[in-house]
Amino acid sequence: MAKLLALSCWRSLSPRPHYPSMPKYPKGESVATVQELSESTAVLSVVGMSCAACAGSVEKAVKRLPGIREAIVDVLNNRAHVIFYPSFVNVETIREAIEDAGFEAALLTDDKKSVQVCRIQIKGMSCTSCSSTLESVLQALDGVLEARVGLATEEAQVHYNPILLTTNHILQAIQDSGFEAQLISSSQDLSKIDLLVEGDITMKLIEDSLQTLPGVLAVDITTELNKISVSYKPDVTGPRNFINVIHETGNGNFKAKIYPTEEGQRDSHRRQETKQYYRSFLWSLVFTIPVFLTSMVLMYVPGVKDSLDAKIVNMLTVGEVARWVLSTPVQFVLGWRFYYGSYKALRRGSANMDVLIALGTNAAYFYSVYSVLRAATSPHFEGNDFFETSAMLISFILLGKYLEILAKGKTSDAIAKLMNLTPDTAVLLTLDGDGSVVGEEEIDSRLVQKNDVIKVVPGAKVASDGFVVWGQSHVNESMITGEARPVAKRKGDTVIGGTVNENGVLHVKATRVGSESALSQIVRLVESAQMAKAPVQKFADRISKYFVPLVIIISFTTWLAWFLAGKYHAYPKSWIPSSMDSFELALQFGISVMVIACPCALGLATPTAVMVGTGVGASQGVLIKGGQALESAHKVDCIVFDKTGTLTVGKPVIVRTELLTKMVLQEFYELVAAAEVNSEHPLAKAVVEYAKRFRDEENPSWPEARDFVSITGHGVKASVHNKEIIVGNKSLFADHNIAIPDDAEYILAEAEKMAQTGIVVSINGKVAGVLAVSDPLKPGAQEVISILKSMKIKSIMVTGDNFGTASSIAREVGIENVIAEAKPDQKAEKVKDLQASGYTVAMVGDGINDSPALVAADVGMAIGAGTDIAIEAADIVLMKSNLEDVITAIDLSRKTFSRIRLNYFWALGYNLLGIPIAAGALFPSTRFRLPPWIAGAAMAASSVSVVCCSLLLKYYRRPRKLDNLEIRGIRVESSSDI
């Protein structure tokens, strides 16, 4: 299978390759007409791009606009260079398109410095209003280029200019806004380690020693903690070298080890917050239950009622005083968090859920205080308090927050499981000059460095990415790729860190460690996806800006309407309960409206579903890059497939050789292999591999090829043993005026009918032989296309191979529409044509030659395997080679968006139905009213129900049709099998 370009989503290693632009012209305008128009050029700064995949998203968003002639996105310099026709599009529209894709954009007026990214844990957010306000605060900071705040994740991701701003400034701004903030990670930490130094320490001496070590970029010392932070190049050095240098510097008097960190920092915070709410809820019950009993139960028990009604001063009763005393700690001690939250929100100029709770409980509490004080000072006034309303309201809200945090914690289980895959220790082998093992040592897995050789025993986890240098076994990679079957490994095969060795001992040479490992990349990709907002979430963000003020207005209007109706006798007095008057009835309606409305449910509807959906996808080997990809994928009704490496295995093999001249087959293949060995083309590699069968050695040396020329898309030309060798397709021979005999034409035609690729070989200008190369069809490809048809999704194949071979493959899998001999830009043009026809198009390819089409498509799906994670241009990465994952990705996106719609329906319907009922809409006809404490319980339950609805996605199972699809293994013969 064609290898996919592996790029870390956080490490911009190289500028993104420029793909040919495919301008989308306005309808009704011909290309000639548009080209006559004047062009304009705009250079925009684009912040938030952390890898080439981000650049692909920006390029895709811009190129979809009408009137765009060219768009080039530079991920390293965070710029977009756009050539456009101002008659059809302007800079502001381009800027908005980039922002709609999830990035910040501005017309570039001066040079921007490099951008860094940090992730911050935030405590104290209660609803969407908090997250939206905090985003505004962060984006207002000078130097902050983009800020995303996730309510469900309780984290912020900030892109900033390190010259203008530091992480400490960002943390301080968050704290000044009334939230608690703690740094989780930053771009600088990707190749940085903290060491604890023990002994009679001379920090300056250690610092000087470390700085002389090759590959060390910076050394920071925290003397009071005996901590040394070292930033380094992982390709050159590593933490074990630092520890050795420190040990040698002090002649054994200094000892160093990795600085102990709190395991599961985010989980620890969540556990702590859960315990706080649980304790607060239990304490609230201690006070609230007696209040409830004295106001609603014991009042009907003879004897006890008389004691509670006993007068203390004037009309002040024992029961009223008891309820006052018991409810006060609930209101001001246990409910202090709502006062504090309200203060912070109002100070920021916004209003959140805490404001509604504080207003509702204060109205009930202070009216009750007024009633009690008036009863104490009047010989005739009989007070009627609502202390049970405020106490029970706070208790139920505390219970709701406790359940909500428990539920939200489960939405990030996928990341927690991924992070726990790395083993704690590894067995480091010491080798002599001949490669023989002379010793082994158990070390902390974080001390593994590049090029170390690690011993992996049966049942142990692989400590880092690498390749097998000795041994053979089967490795369970299901936790990374979702592939259920153990994968056979032998010398030369790659392994992934975090996977489990099953039944044999392996010696693995580490190639990627720490933040470079596939597991670390996947974790960062999933974390980034969970922070990214789906476009549909804008709906909730818009509502949240006006939700709380609107609820306050409705609540006040409700109270005023019922109060005036009672004062002017608009309803019979019999409607008023015996325990209250018209004012108190109106007050209860107003409080109920205020506390039943819940902006939290709306804010959690999308992010919780996206978090669970992306997590479930990662566990099944389908990496979805956030809400944008999910939202687009669920609309897909047309899929464009590449052939080589997508519908086929991508490992071509020689299946037929026909010599047209008298010569020994071994001599023939020696000449052909000598010419092809310098080519990187998959067909050339297949020829060389087949030629090895005529040699006894594993890695034979071929004759020298002089004057080697590779003709892209055609073949190669070289001189071997003073003979001119040409290997390629028919068009190459036509260019060189070499006639192809009829028997060769017949063999080529026969090969095409059998879905094989024909290769012609000439020696000294005469055709000497024809090779037929077959690329096996992937297991289950035909069944997958059939299932897509049943899902009403159109399938098209676009390939650069010849029409005969492409047609044969298409017929075999059941695809009717075929486009052959297509160049990369032509594939992208086909995608755009389908989009213009009204289709939502997904492109499935190998992530290299198909990059332009992956960028142009609504959803780009890259086929990958193991550490070859394609994250350059795709929106969705299918880590296994199985085509069935295309169906899984689309089905999962549909299920996730179905859950998002259900969440919105529930959250909006809940408020639209609950507010009128709380306002007394049913009271005139049924005498049914919603007491404030029940309204508060219902409000708390709404957030919990939305989160639980999203959590049901954890039980997602791929379509049953795929369970009946037997994915058979394909064995490609190699030289070692001969």
Q: Are 812 and 782 in contact (CB under 8 A)?
A: yes
The angle at the Cα of 170, spanning 128 to 53, to the nearest 5 degrees, equals 75
Kind of pairing between the strands at 453-456 and 494-495: unpaired
Structure tokens at 432: 């002599």
Please state, in angstroms and rounded to a whole number, the distance separating the CA atoms of residues 545 and 132.
8
Cβ proximity of 638 and 840 under 8 Å: yes
CA distance 670 to 857: 44
What is the rounded distance in angstroms from the CA atom of residue 55 to the CA atom of residue 74?
A: 7
Angstrom distances, CA of residue 287 to CA of 310, 387, 750, 933: 21, 11, 89, 15
- Token pair for residue 50? 């952390």
**Cα end-to-end distance, the chain, whole Å:** 21
3-state secondary structure of 215: coil
Alpha carbons within 13 A on the beta-carbon side of 733: 25
Q: Contact 486/502 with Cβ under 8 angstroms?
A: yes
Q: Token pair for residue 880?
A: 């296994």
Asked whether the beta carbons of 526 and 623 are under 8 A apart, the reply is: yes
Report the sign of the C-alpha dihedral through residues 566, 571, 574, 579, in that order.
negative
> Are 73 and 16 spatial neighbours (Cβ–Cβ below 8 Å)?
yes
Ramachandran class of 222: left when φ > 0, alpha when ψ lies in -120 to 50, beta otherwise: beta
Strands (E), 789-875: 794-798, 817-819, 841-845, 859-863
Closest CA to 945 of 898, 905, 975: 905
In what helix (H) or strand (E) does residue 724 lie, and over which residues does it extend?
A: strand 723-728
Assign residue 353 a region: left if phi > 0, alpha if psi is -120 to 50, beta otherwise?
alpha
Residue 823 dihedral angles phi and psi, to the nearest 5°: -80, 165
In angstroms, the CA 976 to CA 978 distance is 6
Residue 31 CB neighbours (<10 A): 9
- Is 642 catalytic? The answer is yes
- Burial of 817: CB neighbours in 10 Å, binned 0-12, 13-18, 19+: middle
Distance CA 969, CA 966 (A): 10
Q: Report helix, strand and coil shares of the chain as percent, to nearest 5.
A: 45, 20, 30
Which residues in 425-444 are b (16+ Cβ under 10 Å) and which e?
ebbbbeeeeeeeeeeeeebb
Does residue 440 sit in helix, strand or coil?
strand
Strand partners of residue 42: 82
Rounded Cα distance, 165 and 845, in Å = 41
Instruction: Write the CA distances from 523 to 6, 167, 642, integer angstroms.
Output: 15, 22, 28
757: helix, coil or strand? strand
3-state secondary structure 113-127: CCCEEEEEEEECCCC
The type of residue at 769 is G
Catalytic residue among 642, 775, 846, 868: 642
Q: Which tokens go with 754? A: 């059998």
The residue type found at 844 is V
Q: Which two tokens stand for residue 854?
A: 């992956």
3-state secondary structure of 149: strand
As beta bridge partners, residue 79 has: 45, 74
The tokens of 457 are what? Answer: 């025993």
Catalytic residues: 642
